Every structure is written in C-alpha cells, then in structure tokens.
Structure 1
Amino acid sequence: MTKSLTNYRAIDALRSALKAVAAGIVVTAATGCSTLTQPIDGVPANRLPQEFFAEPKNDLVPVDISLLSLEPPRDYLISNGDILGVYIEGVLPFNPPNTPPEPPPVNFPDKESTLPPSIGYPIAVQDDGTLALPLIEPLNVDGLTLEQVRDAIRDAYIDNDILRPEKARPIVTIIQERTVDVIVVREDTAGNGSQGLNTANLAAQFIRGGSDRSASGGLVKLKAYQNDILHALVETGGLPGLNAKNQVKVLRASRADQRMRAQFMEQFYRQREAAMLDPCVCPPELPEDPSILRIPLRLPPGEVPQITERDIELQDGDIVYIESRETEVFYTGGLLNGGEFPLPRDYDLDVLGAMALAGTGAYGQTSSGGGGIAGNVGQVPPGKLYILRKTQCNGQVAIEVDLTSAINDPRQRPLIQAGDTLILQYKCEEELLNFGLGAFFTYGVQALLRNN
C-alpha cells in the first residue's frame, strides 16, 4: 500500500513537472525565441558568390629581402659629399726647400664606421664634383675611383710644373663617406600597452605585436650605396612587425612627385563632390595614389616581385612609411563576448578560430556559459552564426553559418575579413530545448524530492 502511494506521488510530481515544461515551451515559442524576435536575413555561405569572401593569405610567400638592398660596386666611386684624405709631399702641407717633409696626419674613423684608418688632410668634394687643391685648378673627380683620383692629382701637378715626376707621389684615402638623409615613419615600434588587459585582449595584443600603434620615426643618415629600403628599415628597428602592413610605402621628395600627389587628391575631391550631388550615386572610394611607391613584402606563390634598383634607391628627403593595421579588426556580438579583435597578419582566420579568439569554444559555448532564456542551465550550445560583411556603397550582406556543418566540413568555414561583425544566436529549437531542460531540472527534480 505504501509503495503504491509513493509511486503515485512520483508520477503526479512528474506530471506536474511536464506541465511546467509544456507551459514554458508555449511561452518561449510565443515570446522568447531570439530567432523570431531578433531575425537576421542571412544567406548560407555555400550560396554566396566568390567576391563576397576574403582572399586567403596562408600561402603568401615572403619576398627575398636581398631585393630591397642595393648591390655595391666593386670600387667606391667618388662624388660630392665625400671627404677625402689627401697628402702631397711638399705641397700639402707646404715644405720650404731643404727641410724634411712633415709626416701625414692619421685619421681614425668613428666606432660606427667600417672604414679603415685614413692618411692625409681632409678635403671635401664640392657639390659640382670637384676637388680644390693648392696651386692648381679644381679637379673634376666625380665618378672616379681612389686610384683614378690619385692619378689625376699626380698628372695635374706634373703638367703644371709644380712637382717633378719622381716627387709626385700623392696619397688619397677616404676619411668620411657621403650620406643620404631620409625620413622613416613607423607605426609598429611604439611601447607595450598590455597592462590591465583581460585574457582576450592579451591575445589580441599578441597578434598586434604589443604596440599601441602610435607612429615613431626620425631622420636617418644612410651611407653611399646603402641608401636603400633594407638599410633604412634596419637602422630603425628591422622589418615591419605584426601590427604593420606587409608593405613599405615610399614617398619621393622630388617636386614632380609632390605636385603629382597634390593633383591626385584634388582630382579625387572634385569627383567625390560631383558624385555626392546625385543621391543615387555611390561616392567613389579613395583609390591608390600612383605617386606613392608600394613595395610588397609578401606575395602569392608563383608571382615574381617586380622590384627594380630604382625603386629601392632612396634620395635626400624621401620618406619611408610603415603603415599600421589598426583598421584590420573584426567585431563580435550576440552570444559572443562583445569586443574588437585584430586579424592575424600572416595567416587566415576562419569563423571557428574567430570564436575561439573571442573567448568562445568551437561548439559555441561562451565563457559565461551561454545566454538567452536558458541562461547557464541549458546544455545545448548555440548553432547559428551570422557574419555581417560590408559591401560597396555602405551596403551589407549577412552570411549564415551553421556551426554543426562548419565543424564537420572545412568548406563551411568562411574566412574573416576586416570590418566583419560576428553575431552568435541560438536556433529556435535549441532555445526551446534548453528552456525545457532547464525547467525540468529546476522544477521537476524539486517536485520529485518534495514528494519523496
């Protein structure tokens, strides 16, 4: 009798729990399903044309950095700006007759110089490429080697009857090489700003390279035959870091290039103002400035870099610019931890990797255990992800990703590109099931325990 009464109470408690679950499902279906209350008109990823997807970059090949450096000549060629050490017995310095000659001075280079110690008095090569020496007309030494300069000095003093051939033994060395002054501006060498960051932001800082992306730079003096892109980068910290774009920009200092850049911007603004007069016309985006030289540092496989010596050679006043990737980010929302996250520079990031970077497991379970009606009670993870991707003329396309298919099929994992917004949602049936499970384990188990 007692056993039958206990079974009846258990069945009655279970019936009450099922009624509560049924009532909760009805309420959820009427008002609580986010798929119904917050609908997103998405297009399945396998139905979108290729132009809506990001270009892969996993297979990009680094450019041979030796292509960014000038090949020095076999012999150093003298030009304006060089400082030579010249010693001419009896002339430089002048010695009265019948007096012993003075020994030539020895010049030791700076510790940063690679030149050996030099002999002679410092004589600078003038802007016109000439060398001014005592008692003779200025000699044109532009483009000559040291041996050719020595022979030209000897011949000049012999031809002017100043020195006899047996006494004409000039010594010519290099005291200081000429330099080229360039400006390097970098947005990847600022200080570390990782203090006070959570785990997700620390991961983001790792991808950024630990930089706050502020610009730094200054004037760099490059020696002759080292006035190239590679030496300018080495002098200012090396190749671009992870938070910089995979390219180097060069802005030439010549007046012609400056006028070209000004004309380009003026023409663009005129076109934009004309387009904005018609509300049905999409305003044009700023195209690539043809006066700015862009040297890529990574290229698709099979593509040969078209880098010439003229491209990498820097002149006085040129600007080398390393641009930041501060706009290459994506955003998260919905059931994902909201935030802004940078995209990796050198490898692809698909939807599952982006969810993991945002602090969400591969099966859609956030660090807070989910959200929506089920809260932390439901055990079914959200299975629908939307990628809100910008298109031309401020348009948008919503790419729908079924996470179950994406986990099992790599072709169902679109790559994330800059500006994307990821929205994670429950499917309606998942939310109903989560609510039912939560109601059962909350109210059903309590009723069973009360009746026992």
Structure 2
Amino acid sequence: MNRKPLQAKKRAFRVLRSFKTAAAAGLFCTAFSGCSTLTQPIDGVPANRLPPEFFAEPKNDLVPVDISLLSLEPPRDYQLSGGDILGVYIEGVLPFNPPNAPPEPPPVNFPDADSTLPPSIGYPIAVQDDGTLALPLIEPLQVEGLTLDQVREAIRDAYIDSEILRPEKARPIVTIIKERTYDVIVVREDTATRSGGGDEIRGLSDQSASGGLVKLRAYQNDILHALVETGGLPGLTAKNEVKILRANKADQRKRAQFVQQFYAQQQAAKLNPCAHLPELPEDPSILRIPLRVKPGVVPNITDADVRLESGDIVYIESRETEVYYTGGMLGGGEFPLPRDYDLDVVGAMALAGQGLGASNNQRGGGGLGGGVSSIGGVPPGLVYILRKTPGNGQVAIEVDLAKALNDPRQRPLIQAGDTIILQYKCEEELLNFGLGTFFTFGVRELFRN
C-alpha cells in the first residue's frame, strides 16, 4: 500500500492545524496587547472634515518686510538738540582777548575713529537738555531744531544786538564736535551658541540671552541700526518680529496695569468651575513690528514706531516654544518647527525619522508602547495629530497615510504644541502577524519530516 499520499495529507493537516492555532493566538494577542485601535482608542476627526478654524495658518507665502521701513530718513541738514556738542569760536569773546593783544587761533578738534564727522574748529559748548546754548555775555540762545547756519546767524545777531561786537567783527564759527547719542538696550535670544537638531530645546546648548547697551547717533536711533549694531536681523531661532518696550513712565504704568487686570480676571474666573481661564491678550503698551507679512500687505510702520529714545528696550524673542512632539511608532521626541516655511504631517514624520511608507521593525506594534512586533514588515498607516484648543481643550485630527500620499489636502500643517501619534490599523496588525506566523511556523511545518 502506497503511504506517500497519506503522509502528504497528514503534513497538510498539521500545517492547517498550526495555522489555526497561530491565527487564534494572533487574534488573542492583537485584541489584548498589540492593536492600539482597541486597547488605546483615539476619537479622531478625519482631516478632510475638520473645520477651518482648527487648521494652522500657512506661512509659505509670507514675504520679508522692506527693511528700509525700520530706519529713519535723516534730514538734509543736521538739526541740533540737547546733547550735541558744538565747536564755537567768536573772535574777541570766545576766547576773550585784551584790546591790544593779537587774537588767538581757534583750536582744531579731530573726531573719534568711529565717527563720520570731519575735523571741527572751536571751543566745545554743549547744547543743554532744554535746547539752549550758553555763551559768554549774552542770554542763552534757543537752538532746538536749528541748523548750523541758523545757529551761526543767531549768535551773530545776538552779539550785535547786545552791542558787544560790531557787524564787521561778528564772524562766529560754529561746527559739530560730537553728535548726540541715545542709549538703547538690546536683548537678543538668537545669538547664543546652537548645536542644531533641536538640541537647543532639549537643554543641550546655551539658551541664555545676549544683549547690552548700544549708543546710537542722532538720526540713526532706529530699529535697523540697533539690530545692525548687535548682529543683524533676527536669526532662525528667533521669532519674525521685533518687540519694543518704551522707557517712558506712562508706558511702564500701562504695562503694570495690564498685568494686574489680567491676573484679576484669572482669579475671578477660578471662582466659576464651569468658566475657562482667560488667555493672556496682547499687551497694548508693547509695540510688535513684524518682519514677514502676507503678499500685497504693506505694514503701517511710522517714524514714531521705529524711533528709539534713551532707555528703550529692543527685544528679539526666542522660538524655543515653537515645537511639536511625537509618540507611538514614531517614538517619543521633541522637534523645532521651521520658522519661514510650512511643515505638514508627512514632513514632520520625516524629520522624526519615519518617512511615509517606511517600516520600523525595531519598535513595538501599537500606540503608546504596544507589544506586538512588526514581523511582517507592513508599515503603520494611521496618524493622529493631537492639537490644543482654547480653554484647555483638544481635538484629534485623523490622517490616513494611504490617502495622504495621494491627496495633499489630507496632509494638515503642523503647528506649535501638536503631538503626532503614529499607530497601526487593526488590519495591519493582523496582516503583520499572519505574515510573521507563516514565515515562522508555516515554513517550518512544510519542511518538517
């Protein structure tokens, strides 16, 4: 009797039995350990059904602001004010000469190495804070806003009217020895040493702000010159804006009142358990000047906005909070968002080390720490974007990676604070387990005996 057909039937039966056992085990393991859609369900809203108010604001089309708007236009002729130091020479008066003595020649003053002024002639006389110029034998002259030629004529007329000099002897010389300066404080959080790759966020690099006192000459006391003196426009680690905090007492009081009112509103809201705590609104006493705007938008930046006075603070704020987080099959991570271009969910996954369609056989099989290995090699195909909403709320955006690959509208933009969770679908878990079981048990049974 030929036993070969009987042996073949027995082998087939054993293979079928092993498949049944493996399938049962697979269903058990999938249901109770690996399938995150059952053990760790997330109630998500498909990306194509999400209301527009939950989407991130695109920034790919933003264009840089014309930086000339950040500077002052100097006048054709220099206008004097308090703090200017003039070189004044008046023959017979400054300096005083006895009637029979020959006149002394005027002193020549050479400017500092970093000054753009030419050499000047005369004795140094400072313009007072009230805009007056004190000279010998006459009342102080009001020179606020006058040019050098106008001051020269005013001095000549004053000495002639006082009968101190005859018209043919009144030939004063007026030059500028030193321009007035404005002491501005610049604080920058974009000039510290960076190591790249998000390390500045994880505390692996220096996050201390740099800054100092900058002396700006008259008609250069603007935002552009303050930035140029301290390193240029804000870098990629800083926000695309410049904050100005005025030093005058009125603005300081406004800022203090604003903070007090906000915290008073918070305390009142805490008394109502159903009320949402108010978010910090925009401080009206702080001037924010954007450096990138939408196409066709011309920002309303006036000379008063960019003009800096002594004590004003120019603040370049860091983007250290503009990050997104990853979890699930992507592993835990924290990554900085690009400043000047959009990043969708597929690009965010690529930055996190998981490209679309790639498989990762070294990580767990589900959710936030699943237990079934991806033996079959089928990549995970479901992504959830956990996005914060006002009032400490949250919305979960569901993204099917198969659809996202073919339809850009299925790839939402990532915004600061988002958490990306990569998971397997239940059918992907089953398929991975079935393929793994076949290559682990089925092939062995086929070649057994």
Q: Name the CA distance, whole Å, in 2 between partners of 1:448 and 1:112.
A: 88
Map Cα deviations across residues 209-246 of structure 1 (whole Å, 9 max, x no partner). x9744322222211111111111111111111112111
The answer to whether the aligner puts 1:35 opposite 2:47 as a matched pair is no
8 Å CA contact retained: 1:337, 1:360: no
Q: Give the partner amino acid of 1:422.
A: I
Give the 5 Å matches for 1:337-352: 337-352=331-346
Aligned to 2:210: 216
> Given the alignment of the two structures, is residue 358 of structure 1 paired with residue 359 of structure 2, yes or no?
no
Q: Report matched runs for 1:34-53 at 5 Å.
A: 34-53=36-55
Aligned residue number for residue 92 of structure 1: 94
Could you list the per-position Cα deviations for residues 352-381 of structure 1 after superposition, in whole angstroms to 9, with x for gaps in the alignment? 011011111122534846644552522110
2-structure distance, mates of 1:53, 1:72: 44
Moved more, 130-139 or 14-23: 14-23
User: Structure 1 residues 207, 396: CA separation in 2 closer, same or farther (over 3 Å shift)?
Assistant: closer
Contact 2:222 2:308 in 1 (8 A): yes
Please tell me whether the aligned partners of residues 359 and 366 of structure 1 are also in contact (alpha carbons under 8 angstroms): no
Of stretches 67-76 and 258-267 in structure 1, the one that deviates more from structure 2 is 258-267
SS in 2 for 1:152: helix
Q: Distance in 2 between the 1:425 and 1:50 partners? A: 25
Q: Aligned to 1:96, what secondary structure does the other structure show?
A: coil
Query: Cα–Cα, structure 1 residues 175 and 449, in superposed 2: closer, same or farther, change >3 Å?
Result: farther
Q: Which residue does the alignment assign to 2:108?
A: 106
Instruction: Indicate the SS of the match to 2:98.
Output: coil
| 97-106 or 235-244: bigger deviation | 97-106
**In structure 1, distance between residues paired with 2:341 and 2:443:** 49
2:193 corresponds to which of 169, 191, 194: 191
Q: Percent identity?
A: 75
Range with bigger deviation, 295-304 or 41-50: 295-304
| Superposition deviation, residue 424 in structure 1 | 0.5
* Aligned partners of 1:385 and 1:424 also within 8 Å: yes
Matched length:
442
Aligned to 2:399: 401
Hey, what's the Cα distance between the residues in 2 that align with 1:2 and 1:284?
84
Equivalent pair of 1:24/1:435 in contact (CA under 8 Å): no
Q: Which residue number corresponds to residue 64 of structure 1?
A: 66
370-379 or 326-335, which moves further after superposition?
370-379
Paired AA for residue 388 in structure 1: L
Is 1:446–2:448 an aligned residue pair? no
1:245 is matched with: 239
Kept in 2: contact 1:24–1:439 (CA 8 A)? no
Aligned residue for 1:393, secondary structure, equals coil
* Structure 2 unaligned residues grouped into runs of 5+: none
CA contact (8 A) 1:373 1:431 kept: no
Name the CA distance, whole Å, in 2 between partners of 1:230 and 1:315: 14
1:179·1:223 contact (CA, 8 Å) conserved in 2? yes
Aligned mates of 1:421, 1:290 — CA distance in 2 = 32
Check the 8 A contact 2:387/2:397 in 1, yes or no.
yes
1:434 shift after superposition: 0.6
TM-score (norm 2): 0.92
Q: Distance in 1 between matches of 2:118 and 2:72?
A: 22
Which of 247, 266, 271 is the matching residue for 2:265? 271
Alignment map for 1:249-328 (pairs within 5 Å): 249-328=243-322
Report the Cα offset of residue 138 of structure 1.
Answer: 1.8
Give the Cα–Cα distance (whole angstroms) in 2 for the partners of residues 397 and 161 of structure 1.
86
Alpha carbon RMSD of aligned pairs, Å?
Answer: 2.4
Q: TM-score, normalised by structure 1?
A: 0.91
- 1:177 and 1:87 map into 2 onto residues whose CA distance is 18
The answer to whether the 8 Å contact 1:359/1:367 transfers is no
